[in-house]
Structure 1
Amino acid sequence: MLSSSDAQAQGMQDDRHISFEAIRNIRDLGGYLAAGGRRIVPGRLLRGANPGMASAADIDKLKSYRLDVVLDFRTEAEKHSAETAFASSFNWIAEPVMVGNLSQEVMLTLLQSGSPENGRQFMIDFYRTFPVRYQPQFRRFLKLAEQNNTMLYHCTAGKDRTGFASALLMAALGVDRAAIIDNYLESNRYNATANAQVLAKLFKAELAPELIAPLLTVEAPYMEASLALIDEEYGGMDQYLRQVLDIDVERIRHNYLE
């Protein structure tokens, strides 16, 4: 049985999740406790998996949020020709964060290694590249927040690139690190059905599900690797945001906190 505090936290997560017919893992950052005891305004900052295959009803529902920008961290290779209906409905901006290290050849090598720990170490190493290699992309993402845009930002599964972007944005808003990690880990819950389908296919192909699970899911040490690198190399998150990415933290807080 859930304790009263656990039940309250569970309810807040349910409130933040937005259900769609053909899009998964869409969540609202609204409601998180942030700087100065204020909270993030609901309906302004949405994170998620790829919305490009949205149904007509999904598109109508997203339009109700009056999105100024939909920001896409995917590469061209991850996109589909069937996404034209969505593309014509929103201001959809590409800001690709390359995932070349997640190529099919690399995945096959990891699967053949026979070790889940190899997959976990691969993901940790991958996360440590986010704050270093992709500063221009994440700077431009946060500049959109400076400009007070109502936005949905996403990658393919809404867990890795979107997870790191969320960590930066939530940190800029003054959300504490424990809540940032909790938000990150919610992707496991909302991607569970899709992940189970992938694992079922792999099982039929005689590939052990436990080998691919570290690549399909999120784990706290992955995000903690990114945050630790920021602490070690850049003097902490505040310094990274203000000095390295040149972000006006106060402006972002003014835009999205109530």
Structure 2
Amino acid sequence: MTNDSALATLPNLRDLGGHRAADGAAVRRGLVYRADALARVDDGDFAALSRLGLRQVLDLRTAHERTAEPDRVPDGAEYAVLDVQGNHSTGGDLERLLTDPGAAAEALGGGGAAAFMLEVNRVLVTEPDANAAYSELVRRAATGPTAAVFHCTAGKDRTGWGAALLLTLLGVDREVVFEDYLASNPRMDRLRGAMRRRAERHGVDGDLLEPIIQVREEYLAEAFAEVERAYGTFDAYVSKGLKLAPDLITTLRERMLEG
């Protein structure tokens, strides 16, 4: 499966490999994948997913999301919860905004939707639940059995920061990291339509949701800016926020880089 291919019922599944680090080394394919939730995968796409030989499924979603839509986990794969939002308010707010017209209008109107997304990206960098989950994601990518897939619901925000973190640790240029992040947009037409229909059934103006059901360059930029505000440098974020030892990062690079 290449970064250009997509499964109809798992459209944001893609290999983290194939990118090239600044020193010319390539990120190995077939080791770590990013995806949207594995809950609605049809049988044909599930068979294709199973052929990847997955041995870890790493779920970044909240307890509510996991209960409402449990993953379909391929045989032989360990399932692990790495809840990056825990009880933080941004984890539960989206559900309310999709179903409460008054709350949606108040929170998302007048630029509120974009502001909400910027806050989500700051939280992913600084909240203890997020730091613990992303630290475990890196550890499992470096030392756990492969192939592995990590995902949230749409595979764009929580998963997007996880991918940006891993690619940055592997030495991939920031420009390429942003390209990988923005590649979610054309893959989300199905989800975008489903979210709008669900919101509109509850009387919520679907147009209010557009900033939430997209990825935008400024969202990921805000996460990197929060790294600098909170920790000073990306390396300090890794060592002090994620509490990852240099030896583990070396192990990650040895596993995932070639050439």
TM-score > 0.5 by shorter chain: yes
Report the secondary structure of 2:34's partner residue. strand
2:165 counterpart letter in structure 1: L
Establish whether residue 71 from structure 1 lines up as the match of residue 58 from structure 2.
Answer: yes
C-alpha contact 2:9 2:41 (8 A) present in aligned 1: yes
- RMSD (Å) for aligned C-alpha atoms: 2.5
Call closer, same or farther: CA 1:50–1:207 in 2, change over 3 Å.
same
1:178 counterpart = 2:165 = no
Could you tell me how far 1:155 is from its partner in structure 2?
0.6
Amino acid across the alignment from 2:140:
L
Matched position secondary structure for 1:227: helix
Match of 1:163 in 2: 160
Alpha carbons 2:122, 2:226 under 8 Å: kept: yes
* Structure 2 counterpart of 1:141: 137
Change (3 A) 1:50 1:84: closer
- Alignment partners' CA distance in 1, 2:83 and 2:21: 28
Indicate how the Cα distance of structure 1 residues 125 and 85 shifts in structure 2: closer, same or farther if over 3 A, else same.
Answer: closer
Number of residue pairs matched?
Answer: 245
TM-score (norm. length: structure 2): 0.84
Within a 5 Å distance, the mapping from 1:73-222 to structure 2 comes to: 73-80=60-67, 83=70, 86=73, 90-98=77-85, 99-106=90-97, 108=100, 109=102, 111-113=104-106, 115-133=109-127, 134-147=130-143, 149-200=146-197, 202=199, 207-222=204-219
1:178 is displaced (CA, Å) by 1.3
Q: Aligned residue for 2:254?
A: 254
What secondary structure, in the 3-state scheme, does the structure 2 residue paired with 1:141 have? Answer: helix
TM-score of the aligned structures, taking structure 1 as reference length:
0.84
- Equivalent position amino acid for 2:33 in 1: L
Which has more helix, going by share of residues? 1
2:201 & 2:240 partners in 1: Cα distance?
50
| Counterpart residue type for residue 233 of structure 1 | A
Deviation string 1:90-137 (CA, Å, 9 cap, x unpaired) is 211111122434243355455213625111011101210111111111
Residue 16 of structure 1, CA deviation: 0.4
Deviation at 1:169, TM superposition (A): 0.5
Partners of 2:212 and 2:81 lie apart in 1 by 24
- Separation in 2 of the partners of 1:104 and 1:244? 28
Tell me if structure 1 keeps the 8 A contact 2:7–2:45. yes
SS in 2 for 1:210: helix
Quote the residue 1:50 is aligned against.
37
Match of 1:11 in 2: none
- 1:129 corresponds to which letter in structure 2? V
CA apart distance, 1:253: 1.0
Residue 16 of structure 2 aligns with an amino acid whose one-letter code is: L
**Which sits farther off after the overlay, 14-23 or 188-197?**
14-23
Aligned residues of 2:56 and 2:78 also touching (Cα < 8 A): yes
Residues 115 and 211 in structure 1, CA contact (< 8 A), matched pair in contact too = yes
